Amino acid sequence: MSMRKILAILALALILAGAVTGALAAQTAPAPPAPRFFDTAVEPHAKPRLTVLYPSVGTLKALIALKEQGLLPAANLEVVGVHHAKERTNYKDAYKYVQDQRIDWIKFHAVSADIGLADLYKSNAVTKEFEAIFAKSDGLIFFGGPDIVPAAYGEKTHLLTAIEDPYRHYFELSFVFHLLGGSQNDGAKALLEGRPKFPVLGICLGSQTLNVGTGGTLVQDIWTETYGKSYVEDITALGQPNWHTNPWRKLDPLDRKLLPYMLHPIKLVDGGKLAAELGLKPADQPYIMSAHHQAAGKIGKGFKVAATSLDGKVVESIEHQKFPNVLGVQFHPEFPMLWDAKAQYRFTPQDKDLFTVNGFLKAHGPSLEFHKKLWTWFFDKVKKP
């Protein structure tokens, strides 16, 4: 046999081997997640189903971290990430992450019906989608993110307000209004009227969305509007309980050991949900992780304040008075760094001692237990709506 024929046979064998390998890989590779889960969702569903807004890779990693801590009952929980097609976040990364990690308990649902400022607080093109998502879910979480468009609560835009993702806000604000109703349209019937114990949790931006979606407003910049400070150096003198995010990151951005957010105590309202439901007393003052420059102003219809900053000037939590399992927290109980016992930080460049966030929470009263109890309370409501 000539050398040319031998080479041809070897080449053909390599091609065939590649085809077989590719076929086997195709058989074993996970299928990409469907972008419209609720269209074919089986009803009634056997597992509790949690719907989350803003299902970015970061959000999914936070949920996975909760699972690793035993706080998210993923073995008996289905998570559906819902988003609007016009949001600026590239959710293809999240879809790919779920596919590559072979996560079978996270699904997705993209909404494309158009929505704008004029349509938020009334029946609109997304109403039927809101109704279907709500009917097929056992709980909802609105996660953190950028500043809400001030026009959505009837105000001009502060120079320090950054409008980055308006369609995300249009979608989520209208969803909140459909869920809870609001002072913008008293005649509208809230979806929760039919399921009053349905659990809804708003985190940071999510808490602000609960407030604005029901007719409330925001303080557009805490440091300038609430404390009257225009310079970062003056803000540092306010003291750590009033920082809400770390001002030293603006003054010394090259110091990677500076905590990028802020740990500070909050004051629980006596008899409020965070105290009564979690078995805490107002005197406990747990430390929380915050990362915001805005906060609730006028409180939305149906809500009352559940926690504040120590000086009482900044709203740290709101709870609904009619729907007992609807809660907004201005802080971040989902950040994976809360459970990290390795990464070390300091508050200011002058601090000599480093700390871990997990160690700090453990060393300050009921702070770590507070976060765990919060998630236990919420997921218990999801499992038993």
Please spell the DSSP secondary structure of 283-297, one letter per residue: GG--EEEE--S-EE-
- What pLDDT is attached to residue 24? 46
Handedness of CA 108, 113, 117, 123 (dihedral sign): negative
The three-state secondary structure class of 8 is helix
First-to-last C-alpha distance (Å) of the chain: 76
* 48-383 CATH: 3.40.50.880
| Residue in 267, 221, 260, 264 with CA at minimum distance from that of residue 244 | 264
Return the amino acid letter for 128: K
- Cβ neighbours of 321 (radius 10 Å): 11
Q: Please state whether the peptide bond connecting residue 44 to the residue before it is cis, i.e. omega within 30 degrees of 0.
A: yes
Q: Token pair for residue 87? A: 């949001």
Beta-bridge mates of residue 317 = 307, 329
pLDDT tens for each residue of the chain, 385 residues long: 565 655 555 555 555 555 544 544 444 566 778 899 999 998 888 899 999 999 999 999 999 999 999 999 878 899 999 999 999 999 999 999 999 999 999 999 999 999 999 999 999 999 999 999 999 999 999 999 999 999 999 999 999 999 999 999 999 999 999 999 999 999 999 999 999 999 999 999 999 999 999 999 999 999 999 999 999 999 999 999 999 999 999 999 999 999 999 999 999 999 898 899 999 988 999 999 999 999 999 999 999 999 999 999 999 999 999 999 999 999 999 999 999 999 999 999 999 999 999 999 999 999 999 999 999 999 999 987 5
The three-state secondary structure class of 149 is coil
- Domain residue ranges of the chain, discontinuous segments joined by +: 48-383
